[in-house]
Amino acid sequence: MFEERRRRFEEEEKGARASSELERERGSSVRSAPKPVTALPCERQGQGKWRVHKFYEDQAINVGLRRLDSQWGTQALHVFPKRSNGSPLLLREQLLDSLLEGTTNLKAVPASDLSAAQGDLRHLSLRQLLKIRALHLDFVPPKNGADTTTAFIEKMDWLLFEKLGKKALVNSAVDSQDTASACRLGRELTLVTAAAGALLSPPYWVWWIGDRRRFFDTKLFTLSDAFPKNGGVLQIEDRSAPDPNSKGLRRQIDWKVSLVQMSRLWQSTT
């Protein structure tokens, strides 16, 4: 059963990517592509036990970003910052607006415009960065090295995951993290969000920041210091490792997930 779901997941991922490319070649809107999956299949291994595995980390990241994009609203999506005199702050506001609308694809943007827009990315909100990225998850970097589009997406990814990491910490007593740590945290919690698409209840997952245990609410994308009042939490035993078939360039997800209650959770660390 699990293998069938995993195979279907792979087929849907490939089909959505191929359909999206075809639509863009025809000049159609990005939105017309089929809706891809927003949850990773998982294998049930007993009462309160599951295994999330046989997927690449980059696939899981895409699923997590799609899930967040489908959950979060679109309020203020097209509201951009202005200067004190009311003029646009962004150099390429119209371009970014069309990217958010899904009527323009990054591959079709002239390199000079994309380079200018790259500096605008730091002024975009978390929701705006997420929307643009979610509409371009099928982008594959060129094999002959980096280009303008790759640089744009790399900058966008860094800012997006940094903002996600900082959002997660807003209700936690964890000290403010540096940019790299916040970026790493945002990426890690996006992976949890992908797995949470299959394990909807409870919505809380254990996550460690250094030697501090926190509880991640996948619905709000926030970490808290206190154990949730209702129900248990999901805990990960991470056995992920680089895939030798990819020469270490891709990492395979292998998580053993278990449902635990507060008393058992504290006993496990005493």
CA–CA gap between residue 70 and residue 258 (Å, rounded): 26
CA–CA gap between residue 99 and residue 114 (Å, rounded): 11
Q: What pTM did the predictor assign? A: 0.86
Q: Is a pLDDT exceeding 80 seen at residue 224?
A: yes
Instruction: Please state which of the ranges 10-24, 107-121, 133-147 shows the lowest mean pLDDT.
Output: 10-24
Sequence spans of domains, the chain: 2-267
Residue 58 is which amino acid?
D
pLDDT at residue number 22: 45
Exposure on the CB side of residue 253, measured as CA atoms within 13 A:
26
Q: Is a pLDDT exceeding 90 seen at residue 264?
A: no
pLDDT digits (tens, 9 = 90+) for 26-67: 444 444 455 667 788 889 999 999 999 988 999 999 999 999
Residue found by looking up tokens 């891709």 in the block: 250
pLDDT digits (tens, 9 = 90+) for 56-111: 999 999 999 999 999 999 999 999 999 999 999 999 999 999 999 999 989 889 99
pLDDT at residue number 6: 60
